[in-house]
Amino acid sequence: MPRYDFKSIESRWQQHWEENATFKAEDPACGKDKMYVLDMFPYPSGSGLHVGHPEGYTATDIVCRHARMNGKNVLHPMGWDSFGLPAEEHAVKTGTHPRETTEKNIATFKRQLKMLGFSYDWTRELATTDPEYYRWTQWIFLQLFDTWYDSEHEWTGQDGKQRTGKGRPISELPIPAEVTAAGEEAVRRYQDKHRLAYLSEAPVNWCPALGTVLANEEIIDGKSERGSHPVERVALKQWMLRITAYGDRLANELEELDWPESIKLLQRNWIGRSTGAEVDFYIGDATVGTGPTEFEGWKTTRSASGFPAEAGDDVLRVYTTRPDTLYGATYMVIAPEHRFVDRLTTEDQKAAVAEYCRKASMKSDLDRTELAKDKTGVFTGSYATNPVNGEQIPIWVADYVLISYGTGAIMAVPAHDLRDFEFAVKFEIPVIQVVQPPASWKPSKDESAIAASVNGIEIVPFAGHGTAINSDHLNGKSTADAKAAIIGVLDESGIGKSAVNYKLRDWLFSRQRYWGEPFPIWHELDADGNPTGLMRTESIESLPVPHPHMEDFKPTGTPEPMLAKATDEWLYKTDTDGVRLKRETNSMPQWAGSCWYFLRFCDNKNGEAFIDPALEKYWMPVDLYIGGAEHAVLHLLYSRFWHKVLFDRGHVSMVEPFQKLVNQGMILGEADENGKAEKMSKSRGNVINPDDVVKEYGADALRLYEMFMGPLEQVKPWSMKGVEGVYRFLGRVWRMIIDDRAEEVALLDSVNEAAATDEQLRMLHKTIKAVSEDIAKLSLNTAISRMMEFTNFMSHETSRPKSVLQDFVLLLSPFAPHIAEELWHALGNTSTLAYEAWPKFDEALLVEDSIEVPIQFNGKLKAKINVPNGLDAAAMQAAAEADENVKKQLEGKTIVKVIAVPGRMVNFVVR
């Protein structure tokens, strides 16, 4: 085997690692420091591994192999996010059971990952579709179901900081006296309303083509993320998870994490916390009327009672971030789905409003977006009373107000809100200015774009902060002061209250598909077999709720869940007290399994608990988590949320699961002749299959190339020429050590026991330093280039000391482990290098005796001189002035100033 024969080398060492369980994580009792390095586990799709997968996987593998050589006990696991739509769609098409498809795909993925030589501890493998795994997913759901969020609860975190708000057992939820008085059933219903997992009838995104409802996050431009199918809005009873309760903590606790700022920002924006006020506008009720007398009476009542938690029927409650503009409110808008639409619509407006709401309900989100430029709406015929000045203002229905945000109703201040302004101009509603812009204000692009003439006067809306005008006692106050002042007044008079809102919505947690986790929930039935609305949980001992076997996977075309077609035996039972029960037939979304898989890796065979507390304490948190940026707001927010709930309930020891996060950049297809590279896709025909690359160049070359392409986080185009480049590098490394004309693997004659020269040592130690530092920074592309440099140098040396080559092979091993093991072996070692000590560099050996420094005149390079290393500024200057060439160039010039930086340069400022 004279030549670099990657095929036999790679398969031999992979077999060696497997047989010797080389990468099995050690027991916590080993006494080593732990390091938990995690990849985002893949969905095992039918098309197999994509070259994007090994990018992040190779980076983590390098970190792990490096950490082991530095004496760490490394946990590096892999598993399968195997519930999900594609397997089920495949089942609809072919009749193959999703479990069968999933198992086949997992086998393919596993073969491909093993082929790349990743140092996973395969004994920790798991799949979210394993009953022993989803048993605990269901168990965690029961924890969510058993928890309510006490926003007042004060506690001290592990960091010693005081915090407010914690998830607590539902049994500790205070029950109001009147509820207790109403009986046990009322108490149960009251508790159900406060759980972190709750049922809610709400407009949801129903996708007929996929046969399921989708979360907001799964909809892109009004179409399903998967398959781009149209999505309709229908009202359905669905499971929701109260992630909004954790909005503040999810935003605040990002602070201490070692994550890219851009991802933190993305999450903060997604959570979208805003502060403002809720304000009630009096609309009266049919029995009392809406006149000024009633309004005054209402005000009197309110100042006595205070601001009620639930808005009554006599008011329209709005949320605003600009309560300081209350005096400029000239109309109100309610969403078409608002519960007051009917009662606020007068007889003459009935037809118009009904028609408008009908059209709005038909609009998909896409239509709404496309029509975004033109505001639409219709007057209800009713008026509300502005609580601060008693003005009667008209109430409109318009779909630019969303039912799902705030209270689904707004007060419109056209002078200071661009959307309201557009609407007011179109429908000729008065515009009252109540904020004076600062003198320096210039209209923004948006503001001037919609400026319009109202009653012959050109008006430009102003959405910024300024000074209050036309606002009674607020006049002259800055926007911030005016906000505080008006909130004080509203609070005192029981008309309004400061409030916080989030763009983040509660998480729609049920799907209607077959291939997902069943819920551990039973619904009570009455004598006629109809649900009473009361629920019971599956007992923890009887988990998992098995996934029922089915043969027919065709979507029904209606929102009726697939699991409703299971056998009666699965669907129904009679409880010990004789109550007839029916199972929940929705299934969980794919996110469920991926929300906690990193915990299970610590203890994947535990049959007693989802994780052993001691193992959780030892391994968690994940020290490094690498994956695609597409999960910045979905998976990474959901799993943080679950983790916080588990923490609040005492099941895990830390508030955050992922200490350091890195997002790999996408690998694009090969650039075309114009240098343009596009995303890899089947339709473009530019997909690179890792199998083909490994076949032609080997796993080490693929690993090395993916790391050499450029910075990990960056988007980069694929290049086959680049693969050849690193392949040639591996060939040079091989020939630097091995005699490629010998019959058997044998060292070159030039490889010997001689002591290394100073120059060889300097080169080696420079390389050790650079590669070590680059791995710590995950700057793997530059680490590789340093090893190329070393190879170029050493290949020219006629004497190649073994000691130097051995250290180099160790440096190379995390990147190209197969060839490194082979060379390590050839150099006379008998065991794997996976636990050899990582080479240390000696700073003293790096120092060069003399260095070349540039001499500048006015910052321009004019000469170079050689000086001994370690000169101070004065000596540098003296050396420069002593140089003949410099002397000559200085002739006839006046030196104004000299800047000398030791070891760097000398600059003469001359005239």
Partner RNA sequence: GGCACCGUAGCCCAAUUUGGCAGAGGCGCUCGGCUUAGAACCGAGAUGUUGGGAGUUCGAAUCUCCCCGGUGCUACCA
Provide the minimum distance between the beta carbon of 672 and RNA in the complex, in angstroms, as a whole number: 11
Provide the minimum distance between the beta carbon of 227 and RNA in the complex, in angstroms, as a whole number: 16
Provide the minimum distance between the beta carbon of 312 and RNA in the complex, in angstroms, as a whole number: 20
Residue choice 201, 261, 347, 541 for contact with RNA (CB under 7 A): 261
Q: For residue 205, which of 178, 191, 225 has the smallest C-alpha distance?
A: 225
Using CA atoms, how far apart are residues 365 and 404, in angstroms rounded to an integer?
13
DSSP assignment, residue 41? P
Residues in contact with 97: Cβ distance below 8 Å, sequence separation at least 6, in sequence order: 91, 551
Which residue carries 């990582």 as its tokens?
A: 838
For position 724 contacting RNA by CB under 7 A, the verdict is yes
For position 759 contacting RNA by CB under 7 A, the verdict is no
Provide the minimum distance between the beta carbon of 241 and RNA in the complex, in angstroms, as a whole number: 17
For position 722 contacting RNA by CB under 7 A, the verdict is yes
Cα angle at 313 between 308 and 317, to 5 degrees? 60
Residue choice 675, 685, 828, 892 for contact with RNA (CB under 7 A): 675
Q: Which is nearer to RNA, 191 or 782 (CB)?
A: 782
Provide the minimum distance between the beta carbon of 632 and RNA in the complex, in angstroms, as a whole number: 7
Provide the minimum distance between the beta carbon of 891 and RNA in the complex, in angstroms, as a whole number: 19
For position 547 contacting RNA by CB under 7 A, the verdict is no
Q: Which is nearer to RNA, 391 or 724 (CB)?
A: 724
Using CA atoms, how far apart are residues 861 and 910, in angstroms rounded to an integer?
13
Question: Which amino acid is present at 48?
Answer: G
Q: Which is nearer to RNA, 4 or 109 (CB)?
A: 4
Which residue carries 């086959």 as its tokens?
A: 720
| 94-99: long-range contacts, CB 8 A cutoff, minimum separation 24 | 95/551, 95/553, 97/551, 98/514, 98/515, 98/553, 99/129
For position 339 contacting RNA by CB under 7 A, the verdict is no
Q: Report 343-402 residues binding RNA (CB under 7 A).
A: 368-369, 371-372, 375, 399-402
Torsion of CA 176, 180, 185, 191, to 10 degrees: 30
Using CA atoms, how far apart are residues 69 and 297, in angstroms rounded to an integer?
79
For position 276 contacting RNA by CB under 7 A, the verdict is yes
Using CA atoms, how far apart are residues 386 and 318, in angstroms rounded to an integer?
12
Rg of the chain on CA atoms, in Å: 34
Using CA atoms, how far apart are residues 144 and 552, in angstroms rounded to an integer?
32
For position 223 contacting RNA by CB under 7 A, the verdict is no
For position 448 contacting RNA by CB under 7 A, the verdict is no
Q: Which is nearer to RNA, 86 or 717 (CB)?
A: 717
Provide the minimum distance between the beta carbon of 444 and RNA in the complex, in angstroms, as a whole number: 7
Q: For 29-129, where are the E strands, in sequence order?
A: 34-39, 73-75
Contact window for RNA (CB under 7 A) among 138-146, 177-185, 406-414, 481-489: 406-414
Write the CA distances from 34 to 30, 144, 575, 615, 660, integer angstroms: 10, 30, 47, 11, 15
Q: Which is nearer to RNA, 571 or 875 (CB)?
A: 875
Provide the minimum distance between the beta carbon of 291 and RNA in the complex, in angstroms, as a whole number: 28
Provide the minimum distance between the beta carbon of 217 and RNA in the complex, in angstroms, as a whole number: 7
For position 572 contacting RNA by CB under 7 A, the verdict is no
Q: For residue 498, which of 510, 486, 508 has the smallest C-alpha distance?
A: 486
For position 776 contacting RNA by CB under 7 A, the verdict is no
Maximum alpha-carbon separation in the chain: 111
For position 673 contacting RNA by CB under 7 A, the verdict is no
Q: For residue 122, which of 52, 19, 44 has the smallest C-alpha distance?
A: 19
Residues paired with 508 in a beta bridge: 240
Q: Which is nearer to RNA, 173 or 748 (CB)?
A: 748
Using CA atoms, how far apart are residues 776 and 371, in angstroms rounded to an integer?
50
Provide the minimum distance between the beta carbon of 594 and RNA in the complex, in angstroms, as a whole number: 17
Residue choice 54, 117, 328, 408 for contact with RNA (CB under 7 A): 408
Q: Report 851-870 residues binding RNA (CB under 7 A).
A: 852-854, 856, 858-859, 861, 864
For position 752 contacting RNA by CB under 7 A, the verdict is no
Kindly write down the DSSP assignment for every residue of 277-346, as one continuous string: EEEEEE--BTTTB-SHHHHHHHHHHHHHH---SS--TTEEEEEES-GGGGGG--EEEE-TT-TTHHHH--
For position 721 contacting RNA by CB under 7 A, the verdict is yes
Residues paired with 195 in a beta bridge: 148
Q: Report 782-841 residues binding RNA (CB under 7 A).
A: 782, 784-786, 788-789, 792, 795-796
Residue choice 107, 235, 265, 614 for contact with RNA (CB under 7 A): 265
Residue choice 27, 446, 552, 612 for contact with RNA (CB under 7 A): 446
Question: Which amino acid is present at 484?
Answer: A
Contact window for RNA (CB under 7 A) among 72-80, 301-309, 583-591, 707-715: 707-715
Q: Which is nearer to RNA, 534 or 851 (CB)?
A: 851
How many residues sit close enough to RNA to count as binding (CB under 7 A)? 89
3-class SS letters over 533-598:
EEEEECCHHHCCCCCCCCCCCCCCCCCCCHHHHCCHHHHEEECCCCCEEEECCCECCCHHHHCCHH
Q: Report 601-630 residues binding RNA (CB under 7 A).
A: 629-630
Residue choice 45, 96, 364, 719 for contact with RNA (CB under 7 A): 719
The binding track of 497-536 with respect to RNA, each residue x by CB under 7 A or -, is ----x-x---------------------------------
Provide the minimum distance between the beta carbon of 166 and RNA in the complex, in angstroms, as a whole number: 25
For position 731 contacting RNA by CB under 7 A, the verdict is yes
Q: Which is nearer to RNA, 394 or 711 (CB)?
A: 711
For position 726 contacting RNA by CB under 7 A, the verdict is yes
For position 781 contacting RNA by CB under 7 A, the verdict is yes
Q: For residue 865, which of 819, 908, 822 has the smallest C-alpha distance?
A: 908
Q: Which is nearer to RNA, 165 or 725 (CB)?
A: 725
Contact window for RNA (CB under 7 A) among 13-21, 147-155, 197-205, 262-270: 262-270
Q: Which is nearer to RNA, 323 or 516 (CB)?
A: 323
Which residue carries 């929930």 as its tokens?
A: 521
Q: Which is nearer to RNA, 573 or 777 (CB)?
A: 777
Q: For 270-334, where are the E strands, in sequence order?
A: 274-282, 315-320, 331-334
For position 262 contacting RNA by CB under 7 A, the verdict is yes
Query: Cβ(516)–Cβ(91) under 8 Å?
Result: no
Judging by beta carbons within 10 Å of its beta carbon (0-12, 13-18, 19+), is residue 449 exposed, middle or buried? Answer: exposed
Q: For residue 384, which of 322, 428, 340, 431 has the smallest C-alpha distance?
A: 340
**Within 13 Å, how many C-alpha atoms sit on residue 640's CB side?**
27
The binding track of 166-195 with respect to RNA, each residue x by CB under 7 A or -, is ------------------------------
Q: Which is nearer to RNA, 644 or 766 (CB)?
A: 766
DSSP assignment, residue 836? S
Residues paired with 868 in a beta bridge: 850
Q: Report 279-338 residues binding RNA (CB under 7 A).
A: 318-322, 335
